[in-house]
Amino acid sequence: MAFAAYEVVISRDAMTVYGFLMDGMNNSLWRSGVRSISLRSGVRGQKGAVYQQTLTGPGGRPIAADFEITEARPGAEVRFAVVAGPARPTGGYYLSTEGKTTRLRFALEYHPKGLQKLMNSMIQKTMESEVAQLEQLKTVIESGQTV
């Protein structure tokens, strides 16, 4: 199993952070590997929404990484599952209010199967890099950017 988590404190209220995270279209603003993203089904920013996403993979090749928002608790939690692509991790954003700021934790978990187990260290490094991009999310939210 591979697991990675990272957290930041954002100078915005939890509902602002939650709203930004619920809209998968915002991923291109803070995740460097997102080549394209669009709403595939459901309602944008709602539980059950599925986003079609293409990421930059090994060697710069495009890879599918579509995801579905699986859980949503306003101001507290957003969970998702990758539903297309070679790796299908699950993850979540966990929010807690701290005065006028929000502590945000981003966690990813992946259970490789078959030959993918041999690539566990590479998968682990990729996931650690992905969650560390939370620093960019903090910058984007605090500057007020949205799609």
Model pLDDT for residues 22-66, shown as the tens digit of each residue: 999 999 999 999 999 999 999 999 999 999 999 998 889 999 999
pTM over 0.85? The answer is yes
CA distance 47 to 103: 22
* Residue ranges of domains in the chain, CATH in brackets: 2-31+72-143 (3.30.530.20)
What would the pLDDT profile of 92-135 be if each residue is shown by its tens digit?
Answer: 999 999 999 999 999 999 987 776 666 677 888 989 999 999 99
pLDDT for 1 equals: 87
Report d(CA 77, CA 34) in Å as an integer: 22
Q: How many angstroms separate the CA atoms of 131 and 7, rounded?
A: 8
